[in-house]
Amino acid sequence: MNGKKLISKTYLALILFILYAPIVFIAVFSFTEAKSLGNWTGFTLNLYKSLFTGATPSSASLIAALKSTLIVAVIASAISTFLGTLAAIGIYNLHGRRKTAIKLLNNIPMLNPDIITGVSLFLLFVFLHVSKGYVTVILAHITFCTPYVVLNVLPKLAQMNPNIYEAALDLGATPGQALRKVMIPQLSPGMISGFILAFTMSLDDFAVTYFTAGSSGLETLSTYIYADARKGGLTPELKPLMTIIFLVILAVLLFVNIRTFKKTKDKTV
Amino acid sequence: MNKENVIINIEHLSKSFGDKKVLDDINFYINRGEFITFLGPSGCGKTTMLRIIAGFLNADSGRVTMDGNDLNGVPPHKRPLNTVFQRYALFPHLDVYDNVAFGLKLKKMPDDEIATKVSKALKLVSMTDYEDRDVNSLSGGQQQRIAIARALVNQPKVLLLDEPLAALDLKMRKDMQIELKEMHEKLGITFIYVTHDQEEALTLSDTIVVMNEGKIQQIGTPTDIYNEPVNSFVADFIGESNILNGTMIEDRKVNFIGHDFDCVDEGFGENVPVDVVVRPEDIYILSNLDAAQFVGTVQTCIFKGVHYEMTVLTDEGFELMIQDYNSFEVGSKVGFLIKPNDIQVMKKERTCNTFEGEMTSEESVEILGVEFDCGVREGLEKGDKVKVEVDFNKIDLQDNLDEGETNGSISFILYKGNHYHITVRTEEGFKVYVDTNDIWDKNDIVGIKIAPADMRITKISE
């Protein structure tokens, strides 16, 4: 019994170690200045300093890439959340075969390999003579983010009392007011998780961005790192940036989990 | 009909979902201050009717007027009526106060006025002190009270209630029935109530509209509906009843279960087949056989709290249900009496199946959407339009679907004392009526077979 427990605990520890070792590795080496990874030349915060001040040319272009990544991610996930919520409400009100068909159509872009989405959007934009840049990248990101929002909002609709919207109308709300005052508050947990998912999908997308940004000079983090790695040697400031992104995500996850934990506890009391 | 007093008028209302006709040419009116109930089994169209009045659905044809104004095209938020939904439909993100205040806030009423009205409404439903409570923490009954307060606070002219008590347990339902009735009397507004529970309808309503398959079967007061059902559907749906085949011999004389009885009905004609309804509590059961109109044997006897419910088999072979305060031993020989005014005689809707069809050859006819073999028919040829009559007991229902010419599902079963009268709805939507001794269940799928010799075929001259 005890031996079994030991094995299972060791196994778990091993898995966790494999999962988190690379991140921990980067985090640790973000506090030293050595150019090549794995060389410890003493503790320093210089990389963080140069990341925030943009002192070196490489850190300045890294900051620029980060900025455009965030611009794309925020705009794309906001628009996706809006479109996805409306689409989910529409799908929810369909019936039978049409509902199944539209749900399937919604799932295909998520399963479709990014490279195919990227190339086909690239060809579409060429065909339509849309010049590459923020517009094409954001449109492309909306395309692959929206299905995730739909997928997050649909269950919330299913949980909702089907008469709630009608009840609002019945009490004198216009369809718009009913949507704002009754539907949106009910759907907001799904919309928020959809937004977060869309945001992270947009944040680390490479293939689609690579094809839709073209030669416009627009670089997001992923395309910047790719180009950087090809030139040989990663920008050292990447290490503190990765660490910060990881910590931010960790903080958001902890916040969300603690909140839901508290809520369920409140309900049982 | 006093026009002054009518608040809602419904004319020629029809609605279909796909091929299914849910409402079929509905006409009636609702008086101001009336407590009216739509009563019927599930799928009879009662909820659809309520949703059309509320404005959540549009009718295919016909119109609804309120105080003389056509409601067609008026969106729900502009109609001067409010709804209490079956599953409460409270807004879970708002507390009790904000739920009740929802409609008033939309009207941009001053806050202090809202506060007064909300507390008055909560008092009406005995939910004072609950203002700050989260609606999810309330019991089903409490949630329903809040839903009623939320609707009434807007002072609607008409309150619509869609099976509001269906989700509550029996004891709570009984209490709420009494409270609803009191609220209706106190407020004096019109209540339109939808339920499938006949007891609830009888308890609450001023007027009951009995519906089945999209059609109004009967409109009347609870006593009218109970004592004088117009057809066997109403008699069967409302309360317990013995429904039997009979013959009106002459005015005030009817024959059923093999005996002649005095009754109070007139004007049916002589020797006309009729349906007879006798309520179980209206058959007097006695141990003295000499004084009885007819005799039989007790088969079962169950104590029901206030009375005993017995099934008896008459010497002529009819099974009857009887309710009496006294119990009689199973197997004992007993006598029965029925008073003339406890016999309700109803005109038969039909005495045999009548199908319209067309000859497809000299020995086959198309009816019910399929071809039936009918044997060689002299004088009829291919293409002739014909009327085919088949007696109820000449239609053969088969377990094995392949043996039937067409299939159908059993939609209604009526026990007639010594046989079952079954309505079968075919896939194409035709209705076939069958008398049988076999026991079937509702929604069973059966094959339908008719022997060629049992078809009476007559040509329809154009």
In 3-state terms, what secondary structure has residue B216? strand
Predicted pLDDT of residue A32? 83
Taking contacts as CB-CB distances below 8 angstroms, the residues of chain A near B103 are 171-172
Residue B439 has pLDDT above 50, yes or no: yes
* Run of H or E residues at B294: strand B294-303
Q: Is the ipTM of this complex over 0.90?
A: no
- Minimum CA–CA partner of B138 in chain A: A267
Rounded mean pLDDT, B315-327? 92
Angle at B110 between CA B106 and CA B112, to 5 degrees: 120
Taking contacts as CB-CB distances below 8 angstroms, the residues of chain B near A171 are 77, 82, 102-103, 106, 150-151, 154
Residue B1 has pLDDT above 60, yes or no: no
The answer for residues whose C-beta is within 8 angstroms of residue A30's C-beta and 6 or more apart is A47, A48, A239, A240, A242, A243
Task: Please tell me the CATH code under which domain B240-347 is placed.
Answer: 2.40.50.140
Q: Which CATH class is domain B353-459?
A: mainly beta
Could you read off the pLDDT of B299-311 as tens digits, one per residue? Answer: 999 998 889 999 9
Looking at the complex, does the CB of residue B191 fall below 8 Å from at least one CB of chain A?
no
* Mean pLDDT score of chain A: 87
How many C-beta atoms lie closer than 10 Å to residue A34's C-beta? Answer: 13
d(CA B4, CA B31): 9
- In this complex, do A166 and B85 lie within 8 Å of one another by their Cβ atoms? yes
d(CA B427, CA A238): 70
- In this complex, do A161 and B82 lie within 8 Å of one another by their Cβ atoms? no
Looking at the complex, does the CB of residue B136 fall below 8 Å from at least one CB of chain A?
yes
Phi and psi, residue B116, nearest 5°: -65, -45
Long-range CB contacts (< 8 A, 24+ apart) of B211-214? B211/B38, B211/B39, B211/B40, B211/B44, B211/B45, B211/B46, B211/B49, B212/B40, B212/B41, B212/B44, B212/B237, B213/B24, B213/B43, B213/B44, B213/B45, B214/B21, B214/B22, B214/B23, B214/B24, B214/B26, B214/B44, B214/B45
**Is the separation of the CB atoms in B198 and B182 below 8 Å?**
no
Which of B56, B71, B77 has the most A C-beta neighbours within 10 Å, making it the best mutation to test the interface with A?
Answer: B77
Predicted pLDDT of residue B158? 93
Taking contacts as CB-CB distances below 8 angstroms, the residues of chain B near A187 are none
* Mean pLDDT score of chain B: 90
Which of B71, B81, B91, B135 has the most A C-beta neighbours within 10 Å, making it the best mutation to test the interface with A?
Answer: B91
Q: Which candidate, B88, B95, B32, B23, places its Cα nearest to that of B60?
A: B23
Angle at B109 between CA B103 and CA B115, to 5 degrees: 80
* DSSP-derived pairing of the beta strands B456-459 and B344-347: unpaired
d(CA B410, CA B403): 17
- How far B103 CA lies from chain A's nearest CA (Å)? 5
Predicted pLDDT of residue B225? 92
- How far A258 CA lies from chain B's nearest CA (Å)? 20
d(CA B267, CA B380): 39
d(CA B39, CA B46): 7
Cβ within 8 Å of B, A 186-225: 186
Could you read off the pLDDT of B169-222 as tens digits, one per residue? Answer: 888 889 899 999 999 999 999 999 999 999 999 999 999 999 998 899 999 999
d(CA B235, CA B214): 18
Q: Which CATH class is domain B3-232?
A: alpha beta
* Run of H or E residues at A37: none
Looking at the complex, does the CB of residue B99 fall below 8 Å from at least one CB of chain A?
no
Predicted pLDDT of residue B102? 93
**Burial, B402: exposed, middle or buried (Cβ in 10 Å; 0-12, 13-18, 19+)?**
exposed
Which of A157, A171, A268 has the most B C-beta neighbours within 10 Å, making it the best mutation to test the interface with B?
Answer: A171
Question: Encoding tokens for residue B110?
Answer: 């001053």
* Run of H or E residues at B151: helix B140-152
Q: Which candidate, B232, B104, B349, B343, places its Cα nearest to that of A172?
A: B104
Delimit the domains of chain B by residue range. 3-232, 240-347, 353-459
* DSSP-derived pairing of the beta strands B259-262 and B395-398: unpaired
Residue B348 has pLDDT above 70, yes or no: yes
Taking contacts as CB-CB distances below 8 angstroms, the residues of chain A near B76 are 166, 169-170
**Burial, A70: exposed, middle or buried (Cβ in 10 Å; 0-12, 13-18, 19+)?**
middle
Beta partners for residue B9, in sequence order: B29, B65
Angle at B324 between CA B318 and CA B329, to 5 degrees: 70
Q: Which of B56, B76, B106 sits opposite A177 (nearest CB)?
A: B106
Looking at the complex, does the CB of residue A168 fall below 8 Å from at least one CB of chain B?
yes
Could you read off the pLDDT of B149-169 as tens digits, one per residue? Answer: 999 999 999 999 999 988 888
Predicted pLDDT of residue A267? 55
Taking contacts as CB-CB distances below 8 angstroms, the residues of chain B near A168 are 91, 102
**Is the separation of the CB atoms in A46 and A237 below 8 Å?**
no
CA B223 to chain centre: 15
Predicted pLDDT of residue A265? 65
- Minimum CA–CA partner of B85 in chain A: A163
In 3-state terms, what secondary structure has residue A198? helix
d(CA B412, CA B432): 11
In 3-state terms, what secondary structure has residue A78? helix
pLDDT-derived band at B52 (thresholds 50, 70, 90) equals very high
Cα R_g (chain B), whole angstroms: 27
Taking contacts as CB-CB distances below 8 angstroms, the residues of chain A near B87 are 161, 163
Q: Which candidate, B176, B182, B190, places its Cα nearest to that of B67?
A: B190
Taking contacts as CB-CB distances below 8 angstroms, the residues of chain B near A169 are 55-56, 75-77
Q: Which of A164, A166, A172 sits opposite B103 (nearest CB)?
A: A172
Could you read off the pLDDT of B10-20 as tens digits, one per residue? Answer: 999 999 988 88
Q: Which of A163, A168, A175 sits opposite B87 (nearest CB)?
A: A163
B353-459 and B240-347 share a CATH fold: yes
Please give the CATH superfamily to which domain A60-235 belongs.
Answer: MetI-like (1.10.3720.10)
Per-residue pLDDT of chain A (269 residues; tens, 9 = 90+): 577 889 999 999 999 999 999 888 888 888 887 766 677 787 888 888 888 887 777 788 888 888 999 999 999 999 999 999 999 999 998 888 888 899 898 888 888 898 999 999 999 998 998 888 888 999 999 999 999 999 999 999 988 888 899 999 999 999 999 999 999 999 998 999 999 999 989 988 999 998 888 777 788 888 888 888 887 777 788 888 888 988 988 898 898 888 877 776 665 54
Predicted pLDDT of residue B3? 66
Rounded mean pLDDT, B115-133? 90
pLDDT-derived band at B403 (thresholds 50, 70, 90) equals confident
Give counts: helices (H), strands (E), chain B.
8, 30
- In this complex, do B92 and A163 lie within 8 Å of one another by their Cβ atoms? no
d(CA B361, CA B358): 9
Predicted pLDDT of residue A269? 44
Which pTM was predicted?
A: 0.78
Looking at the complex, does the CB of residue A173 fall below 8 Å from at least one CB of chain B?
yes
Phi and psi, residue B244, nearest 5°: -135, 155
d(CA B99, CA B91): 6
